[in-house]
Amino acid sequence: MEMSPMLSVGSCQYIDVRQQEYVAIITLNRPARLNAITWDMATEIHGVLDCIDNAFPAIRAVVITGEGRGFCSGADVSDMAKRLNNRQANDSNVTDQPSITMQLAPHFRIISQPIIAAINGVAAGAGLGVALASDIRIASTEARVGSVFVKRSLVPDTGVSQLIGAMAGPGIAYEMSLTGNIYDADWALAKGLINEIVPHNQVTIRAIDLANQISSNPPLAVKATKQLMRNIYPDLQQIIEAEHEANRDIHGSEDRLEAVNAFLEKREPKFIGK
């Protein structure tokens, strides 16, 4: 293959973007927070995806991974705590924060290029949504997955409520969503949530190799195939909106505030059902 035009996405603070041949590699870069997603990080991801899809069609596949020990630990709880503690529960700034993160899932589905998640560590909450919304998932031996929303007094978002069931069946979706437990890579592979497990130091290499294989195929056929495969899933945007509405109903609850504060204070929460 001849070289593609070099990708240029401008300056990003919370993600790194590089190009290898026809593959764009996005690295979530908040390792001290296990790459937890903030409003600003989500905005950067959306911007890069738009740039790749609209301005750089020569990019034929995308790999997304995390810097350091984690893939993505979910939405940043400290960021959410500021909104919960400093604003009224019905303030749009409270409820809009999950929305921009949740919209990553349908954006991953809409973008023309296949996305491969190189899951190098924990993928929890919205981070699990990012992984499951990717088209292919390669996990390291150290990968962990979990729908931890319920432990933060939330319902699953970022498409997780639908994506787990579509891949692993409703029983597994109920178990993961209602317990909030974290599971290892072997469990995730057995349930169909990931495609394969590789040694930890090979996860990004393997994902890029797979992306290169995809990129060697006719681009129009690859894009058309992804568009066709999207029909496997019900309307993900409708699911996102339903998740968002459900979370709006409980954002101002006492249990929600207690869940966030207990997490930040590293103590057991005391829930009262209000």
Task: Please report the pLDDT score of residue 110 as a whole number.
Answer: 92
- Sequence ranges of the domains in the chain: 15-264
What is the rounded CA–CA span in Å between residue 249 and residue 95? 10
Task: Please report the pLDDT score of residue 9 as a whole number.
Answer: 72
Task: Please report the pLDDT score of residue 4 as a whole number.
Answer: 55
Task: Please report the pLDDT score of residue 235 as a whole number.
Answer: 82
Q: Under DSSP, is residue 60 helix (H, G, I), strand (E, B) or coil?
A: coil
Task: Please report the pLDDT score of residue 95 as a whole number.
Answer: 53
What's the full length of the chain, in residues? Answer: 274
Q: Supply the DSSP string of 98-134, one letter for each residue.
A: HHHHHTHHHHHHHSSS-EEEEE-SEEETHHHHHHHHS
- CATH class for the domain made up of 15-264: alpha beta
What is the rounded CA–CA span in Å between residue 166 and residue 163? 5
Could you tell me the mean pLDDT of each successive run of 10 residues in the chain, 274 residues long? 62 95 97 96 96 91 98 88 56 54 93 98 98 98 98 95 96 98 99 99 99 98 94 82 89 88 91 94
Task: Please report the pLDDT score of residue 85 as a whole number.
Answer: 60
Task: Please report the pLDDT score of residue 10 as a whole number.
Answer: 72
What is the rounded CA–CA span in Å between residue 274 and residue 240? 24
6: Cβ contacts below 8 Å, ≥ 6 apart: 19
Task: Please report the pLDDT score of residue 141 as a whole number.
Answer: 99
Helix (H) or strand (E) holding 68: none
Task: Please report the pLDDT score of residue 94 as a whole number.
Answer: 47
Global confidence as pTM: 0.91
Task: Please report the pLDDT score of residue 86 as a whole number.
Answer: 59
